[in-house]
Amino acid sequence: MVHLRIVAPEAEAQKALALFEKTDSVYNIIVLEDAARKPEGHAILCDVAREDASVVIADLKELGIHHCGSIAVEDIDSQISDVAIAAEKAAAGLPTDAVVWEEVESRTSENVELSGSFLAFMVVATLIAAVGILTDQIILIIGAMVVGPEFGPLAGLCVALVHKRPDVAKRSLTALAVGFPLAITASFVMTWVIDLANLVPEDFSQQNHPFTEFISSPDEFSAIVAVLAGVAGILSLTSAKSGALVGVLISVTTIPAAANVGVAAALGDSAEWVGAMGQLALNLTLIVLSGITVLFIQRRLYIRRKAKHHSDAGRKAAGLDDSPETS
């Protein structure tokens, strides 16, 4: 279930009420007349089945409420109500499969900023991975994967390309273009300092580190994992259940590959850092391509649902055009 809080002038608020009252998946409608002060108008509270949340919000935007007022969206964790059960039944599909596109855009917009914390996490994660490579400790590699924040901009890029949002795409690419070179440089400097101080483990060998050798040896299985990780990551982002995201982060070797580029370059092993660069490029490319594919399919399903919704009684009551959209 999704909770909506609408603030709108009286004329638009009345149209929104007409829409809500005739839409079976909307319930718990509360009207606070003239309660809003900035901007002035009515405040409307309601709940909507998650499956229909985006199409209802699209109707509100078609009424222009986001220009003259505001639309706030919140998830409802739990609710005890027969009315809510009836509203869910009125909306086709399952709540766990429903995509609230406004929620997806909000999540990705927050995670594509080139901020100090993003760069700090990139550097810290890469340094942890570098130590894992030098000591051949797989647990450190896993820890670095979890700490790494790179999936946010990758997901943001996928959403931006599917939604045709060049501003978000630019911010995502900037974060990746600055974050990875900085992280690789940090890994190079740390390894160079460790080597100068003779702290590199005596038994370390770029050619013989069985637990972390996969980082610089991309193969067909690397490609398969990258594709599956991209699919799982986007599904985790768009679904109501996001617990799978940690598993996605652990399965992707972007941070370890970046770390190994710096480690190998500092130790003068050109074959190793070239292999790590290949692994990094392979992962980044396939994650984005598979993510775009999943989002494109989900978006087409949403457009089909929205086209069917255009003939609903709620839209007619609100005075909205009933001609279906095709894009």
Residue 207 has pLDDT above 70, yes or no: no
Q: Please give the residue that has the higher pLDDT: either 233 or 26.
A: 26
Cα distances from 12 to residues 30, 52, 96, 218, in angstroms, run 15, 20, 31, 57
Banded model confidence at residue 227, pLDDT cuts 50, 70, 90: very high
Residue 204 has pLDDT above 60, yes or no: yes
Kindly state whether residue 202 falls inside one of the protein's structural domains. Answer: yes
- 45-68 burial by CB neighbour count: b if 16+ within 10 A, else e? ebbbbbbbbbbbbbbbeebebeee
H helices of 30-81, where? 53-62, 65-68
Q: Check whether residue 92 and residue 109 sit in a common domain.
A: no
The residue from 43, 72, 98 where one domain ends is 98
- Token couple for 241: 């259940």
Q: Check whether residue 282 and residue 180 sit in a common domain.
A: yes
Highest mean pLDDT among 157-166, 217-226, 312-321: 157-166
Looking at this protein, which amino acid is placed at residue 108?
T
Kindly state whether residue 26 falls inside one of the protein's structural domains. Answer: yes
Q: Check whether residue 232 and residue 253 sit in a common domain.
A: yes
- CATH assignment of the domain containing 142: 1.20.1080
Looking at this protein, which amino acid is placed at residue 110?
E
CA 205 to centroid of chain Cα atoms: 38
Q: Check whether residue 277 and residue 193 sit in a common domain.
A: yes
Q: Check whether residue 117 and residue 67 sit in a common domain.
A: no
Q: Check whether residue 135 and residue 183 sit in a common domain.
A: yes
Using alpha carbons only, what angle is made at residue 216 by residues 210 and 221, rounded to the nearest 5 degrees?
Answer: 85
Q: Check whether residue 131 and residue 243 sit in a common domain.
A: yes
Q: Check whether residue 33 and residue 125 sit in a common domain.
A: no
Instruction: Of 177, 58, 165, 182, give the one whose Cα is nearest residue 120.
Output: 182
- Percentage of residues of the chain with pLDDT beyond 70: 92
- Quick one: pLDDT at residue 327? 47
Residue 121 has pLDDT above 90, yes or no: yes
Banded model confidence at residue 243, pLDDT cuts 50, 70, 90: low
- Quick one: pLDDT at residue 200? 85
Average pLDDT over residues 21-41: 93
Cα–Cα distance, 55 to 93 (Å, whole number): 13
Average pLDDT over residues 235-240: 80
Residue 127 has pLDDT above 50, yes or no: yes
Residue 22 has pLDDT above 50, yes or no: yes
Average pLDDT over residues 96-124: 86
Banded model confidence at residue 93, pLDDT cuts 50, 70, 90: confident
- CATH assignment of the domain containing 51: 3.30.70
**24 Cβ neighbours under 8 A, 6+ residues apart:** 86, 87, 90, 91
- Quick one: pLDDT at residue 27? 93
Q: Count of domains in the chain? A: 2
Kindly state whether residue 300 falls inside one of the protein's structural domains. Answer: yes
Kindly state whether residue 242 falls inside one of the protein's structural domains. Answer: yes
- Quick one: pLDDT at residue 33? 94
Predicted model pTM? 0.84
Residue 40 has pLDDT above 50, yes or no: yes
Q: What is the mean pLDDT of the chain?
A: 88
Q: Check whether residue 199 and residue 74 sit in a common domain.
A: no
Residue 269 has pLDDT above 70, yes or no: yes
Task: Classify residue 39 by burial, with Cβ atoms within 10 Å: 0-12, 13-18, 19+.
Answer: exposed
Q: Check whether residue 127 and residue 257 sit in a common domain.
A: yes
Kindly state whether residue 318 falls inside one of the protein's structural domains. Answer: no
Cα–Cα distance, 228 to 22 (Å, whole number): 42
**Helix 138-147 with 254-266: angle, nearest 10 deg:** 120
Kindly state whether residue 321 falls inside one of the protein's structural domains. Answer: no
Banded model confidence at residue 78, pLDDT cuts 50, 70, 90: confident
Banded model confidence at residue 66, pLDDT cuts 50, 70, 90: very high
- Quick one: pLDDT at residue 251? 63
- Quick one: pLDDT at residue 319? 85
Q: Check whether residue 47 and residue 137 sit in a common domain.
A: no
The residue from 50, 77, 98 where one domain ends is 98
Helix (H, G, I), strand (E, B) or coil at 284: helix
- Quick one: pLDDT at residue 306? 86
Helix (H, G, I), strand (E, B) or coil at 260: helix
Kindly state whether residue 86 falls inside one of the protein's structural domains. Answer: yes
* Domain around 81: 2-98
The residue from 55, 79, 98 where one domain ends is 98
Residue 326 has pLDDT above 50, yes or no: no
Kindly state whether residue 320 falls inside one of the protein's structural domains. Answer: no
Q: Check whether residue 114 and residue 209 sit in a common domain.
A: yes
Looking at this protein, which amino acid is placed at residue 201?
P
